[in-house]
Structure 1
């Protein structure tokens, strides 16, 4: 963790624990803390200027979100998703995001539809070369926030939010493939166009097609990575 420099904790109204949680979560999602990297209590205390108790509370919360794993003899590390875990997450996403797309068509206001189109346009305007996939990931997060808002289903939102952190890690894997960002934009455009036409079936199918393509690419890249790690040296 020696090269990691977290954002400073500011003087804001949010409880200190929540500030630390937000910082560490974002560092993991932006891959400044990488999968497999150890989270050493003493270093976290020093770099964030917080107590051991606060660090432990935050690590437990991140573990509940699936971003941190406690490994015997090693302690807490940034989670490394397996291919099998990723397969399950992608399968759940297909079902849940198809439902979200349907609900959006049925429940969203015209203003929310316009905001979704604007979120897509903002995403499409980001030059991929500016900061790798990070800008695309953040813009895609904003797109899905509007999608869930318009779907108007608290239960569905809570369920997908519970998966969101791990979904973000999988997006990083699939979007890193050359050409995938442009393909993703085409898939999201199909979703938006179906929503603008108020075609729930087409929106659901476009959502499923997007996730299945991401799954095929992401799982293949993860399998390659696992094979390279397991190969004799």
Structure 2
């Protein structure tokens, strides 16, 4: 393989973390597609690292719900079903709404400035065609929001489903026009936080997640319909 874009550079960050981040980005950007088998030997060649490093990263990806291990096939990229997406969005809406409320009420000056900077970066990255930059900026924004909530239990609950949230976030942001609507929804969240209005922040976060959910579920439903139609066509031609 001559594609060197996934190769890990020799920098200070732990090698395992670098490998994990490269593979996670490849999955969330759909370079590795849902259901695709991940072969360790090929990943070692793509990344330029040992099989041990790849295996450690794969275990971390599995713990975050980004891949699943299938008997006799090995690891494959996870597929989020429509039913699972509905459940995830129900939980995410409540948790992120609570995070917004707590941040508005508890965050200190430094955390508020950090969130402001993250939102400004979102505005910049959302003007680019690079889907991974938009996704990374949005993920960073929410990491700051969670930290500023000051609630470790809340952060732990969100971390447990973070991998699948990232997959769904990538799905919703892929919809034409969604980025601009997202910016308007985030502006509403920021206004509530700036006003230190916990109730308004709760409502703005809740509405934002529900809006994203509607887009993602529509895309997943269309995917399922297309797959069903293709399967019917295959059976007719068999």
Residues 105, 198 of structure 1: 8 Å contact kept: yes
Equivalent in the alignment of 1:114: 113
Equivalent in the alignment of 1:160: 158
| TM-score in terms of structure 2 length | 0.88
Against the structure 1 CA distance between its residues 4 and 167, is the aligned structure 2 distance closer, same or farther, given a 3 Å change threshold?
Answer: farther
Equivalent in the alignment of 1:60: 59
Equivalent in the alignment of 1:180: 178
Q: Deviations over 1:111-159 (max 9, x none)?
A: 322332332232123354x324332212112211221121122222222
| TM-score in terms of structure 1 length | 0.89
Q: Does 1:142 align with 2:140?
A: yes
Residues 6, 27 of structure 1: 8 Å contact kept: no
Equivalent in the alignment of 1:78: 77
SS of alignment partner, residue 69 of structure 1 = strand
Farther off after superposition, 44-53 or 177-186: 44-53
Give the drift of 1:219.
0.6
2:217 to 201, 207, 219: 219
Residues 7, 48 of structure 2: 8 Å contact kept: no
Residues 126, 179 of structure 2: 8 Å contact kept: no
Instruction: Output the aligned Cα RMSD.
Output: 2.0
Q: Which runs of at least 4 in structure 1 moved beyond 4 Å after TM superposition?
A: 2-6
Against the structure 1 CA distance between its residues 133 and 20, is the aligned structure 2 distance closer, same or farther, given a 3 Å change threshold?
Answer: closer
Equivalent in the alignment of 1:21: 20
Against the structure 1 CA distance between its residues 26 and 133, is the aligned structure 2 distance closer, same or farther, given a 3 Å change threshold?
Answer: closer
Against the structure 1 CA distance between its residues 49 and 139, is the aligned structure 2 distance closer, same or farther, given a 3 Å change threshold?
Answer: closer
| Distance in 2 of aligned mates of 1:25 and 1:118 | 24
SS of alignment partner, residue 125 of structure 1 = helix
| Distance in 1 of aligned mates of 2:93 and 2:117 | 24
| Distance in 1 of aligned mates of 2:204 and 2:210 | 10
| Distance in 1 of aligned mates of 2:162 and 2:60 | 14
Residues 89, 209 of structure 2: 8 Å contact kept: yes
SS of alignment partner, residue 33 of structure 1 = coil
| Distance in 1 of aligned mates of 2:162 and 2:21 | 14
Q: Any unmatched runs of 5+ in structure 1?
A: none
Equivalent in the alignment of 1:95: 94
Residues 69, 78 of structure 1: 8 Å contact kept: yes
Q: Deviations over 1:53-73 (max 9, x none)?
A: 433332222111101112234
SS of alignment partner, residue 76 of structure 1 = strand
Q: Any unmatched runs of 5+ in structure 2?
A: 234-238
